[in-house]
């Protein structure tokens, strides 16, 4: 049904190869025919068949965006990243294809590689073990890990500076005189997010404050679980005077529990989050956070991936983007 180069060639009485060359602006075709071909193509509303072109070129100009977590839990987190990635991709003639749950087993991901339906992958995963990375490299499809650092010499990643962000947060709290600082975290073993925790312990050590494991509580996420973890902290014999939540959405739940207890923030307990999500700004008091350059992370991941796609010998790109401490009412109200 759609117009093909053959239609154009018949229309003009030239060969299809001439049409192809003319449309692709090759040098070895006369200006005159180039002109004619392009005009007729335009007039007939010709657009090249993506499938045919993909098959021939062995490229799809598409980038796979693979989530292994529920997208919707982190609305602005993902929306910003996707917005940045999509824009950057389109500016470079590519499109983003979304995938979820390809990562439960390595197989799904590898199959995705083999179908060659995308030219490369961006992985938005909580945790990317070597057991996934190695076969991925063997597969030869370029990929970039987004938002997570990974200890693998051949893997590219674009990540926010979790360590220094958490460190800035700790310095801030310490400078306010806090010495008992709670840390409400996602299970550390499951995550590559250890950087935030490392900054926590390092900052304490630097300040000469002994580490107290009872101040570190875990939550699997979800309002219930976040609430439970918070109560665990507040019910300590000597409760903390400040707390850091692993990210802003947890912080919001923590805040709710604290206020329900009739405690004042920051007077009775200071609170900080992480990521710079909108939610942290909307609640009362607004929550001090560390802002990630989400849009930029999306953009740069695409840029990095495109470079890997262009040049197969491109050495891994590993970038840590600066983050920014945003001091708000919850710590210095």
Instruction: Give the 3-state DSSP-derived string for the chain, with helices as H, strands as E and coil as C.
Output: CCCCHHHHHHHHCCCHHHHHHHHCCCCCCCHHHHHHHHHHHHHHCCCCCHHHHHHHHCCCCEEEEEECCCHHHHHHHHHHHHHHHHHHHHHCCCEEEEEECCCCCHHHHHHHHHHCCCCEEEEECCCCCHHHHHHHHHHCCCEEEECCCCCCCCCEEEEECHHHHHHHHHHHHHHCCCCCEEEEECCHHHCCCHHHHHHHHHHHHHCCCCCCHHHEEECCCCHHHHHHHHHHHHCCCCCCCEEEECCHHHHHHHHHHHHHCCCCCCCCCEEECCECCHHHHHCCCCCEEEECCHHHHHHHHHHHHHHHHHCCCCCCCEEEECCEEECCHHHHC
- Which of DNA, a second copy, none does residue 29 bind (CB under 5 to 8 Å by kind)? DNA
Q: Quick one: which segment of 12-20, 64-72, 80-88, 207-215 binds DNA (CB under 7 A)?
A: 12-20
Nearest distance in Å: CB 324, a second copy = 18
Joined tokens for residue 187: 């299970």
Query: What are the backbone dihedrals phi and psi of residue 2, each rounded to the nearest 5 degrees, phi first?
Result: -70, 160
Nearest distance in Å: CB 188, DNA = 43
- Which of a second copy, DNA, none does residue 180 bind (CB under 5 to 8 Å by kind)? none
CB within 8 Å of 167: residues ≥ 6 apart: 199, 202, 203
Nearest distance in Å: CB 13, DNA = 7
Give the footprint of a second copy on residues 23-62 (CB under 8 A): 45-52, 54-55, 58, 60, 62
Nearest distance in Å: CB 116, a second copy = 6
Total residues in contact with DNA, by rule CB under 7 A: 31
The mark string for 110-139 relative to a second copy (x by CB under 8 A, - otherwise) is xx--xxxx----------------------
Pick from 38, 40, 44, 58 the residue near DNA by CB under 7 A: 58
Q: Quick one: which segment of 31-39, 109-117, 192-200, 231-239 binds a second copy (CB under 8 A)?
A: 109-117
Please say which residue, 51 or 238, places its beta carbon nearer to DNA.
51
Pick from 10, 17, 111, 130 the residue near DNA by CB under 7 A: 17
Please say which residue, 175 or 312, places its beta carbon nearer to a second copy.
312
Pick from 10, 25, 32, 111 the residue near DNA by CB under 7 A: 32
Which residues contact DNA by CB under 7 A? 2-6, 13-18, 20-21, 23-24, 27-30, 32-33, 46, 48-49, 51-53, 55-58
Which residues contact a second copy by CB under 8 A? 1-3, 45-52, 54-55, 58, 60, 62, 70-72, 74-76, 78-80, 82-83, 86-87, 90, 95-101, 110-111, 114-117, 140, 252, 278-279, 282-284, 295
């Amino acid at each position: 049904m759609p117009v093909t180069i053959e239609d154009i060639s018949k229309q003009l009485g030239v060969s299809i190869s001439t049409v192809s060359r003319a449309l692709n602006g090759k040098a070895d075709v006369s200006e005159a025919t180039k002109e004619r071909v392009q005009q007729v193509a335009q007039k007939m509303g010709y657009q090249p068949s993506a499938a045919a072109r993909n098959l021939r070129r062995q490229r799809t100009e598409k980038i796979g965006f693979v989530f292994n977590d529920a997208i919707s839990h982190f609305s602005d987190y993902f929306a910003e990243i996707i917005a940045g990635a999509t824009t950057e991709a389109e500016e470079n003639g590519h499109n983003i294809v979304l995938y979820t749950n390809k990562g439960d087993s390595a197989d799904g991901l590898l199959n995705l590689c083999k179908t060659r339906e995308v030219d490369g992958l961006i992985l938005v995963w909580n945790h990317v073990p070597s057991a996934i990375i190695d076969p991925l490299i063997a597969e030869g499809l370029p990929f970039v890990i987004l938002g997570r650092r990974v200890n693998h010499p051949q893997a590219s990643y674009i990540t926010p500076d979790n360590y220094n962000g958490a460190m800035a947060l700790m310095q801030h709290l310490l400078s306010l005189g806090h010495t008992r600082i709670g840390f409400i975290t996602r299970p550390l073993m499951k995550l590559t997010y250890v950087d935030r925790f490392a900054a926590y312990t390092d900052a304490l050590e630097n300040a000469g404050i002994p580490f107290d494991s009872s101040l570190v509580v875990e939550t699997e996420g979800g309002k219930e679980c976040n609430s439970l973890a918070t109560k665990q902290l507040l019910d300590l014999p000597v409760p903390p005077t400040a707390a850091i939540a692993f990210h802003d959405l947890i912080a919001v739940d923590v805040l709710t529990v604290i206020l329900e207890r009739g405690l004042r923030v920051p007077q009775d307990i200071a609170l900080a989050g992480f990521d710079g999500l909108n939610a942290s700004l909307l609640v009362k008091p607004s929550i001090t956070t560390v802002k990630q350059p989400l849009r930029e992370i999306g953009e740069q991941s695409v840029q990095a991936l495109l470079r890997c796609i262009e040049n197969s010998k491109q050495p891994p790109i590993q970038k840590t983007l600066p983050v920014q401490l945003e001091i708000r009412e919850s710590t210095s109200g």
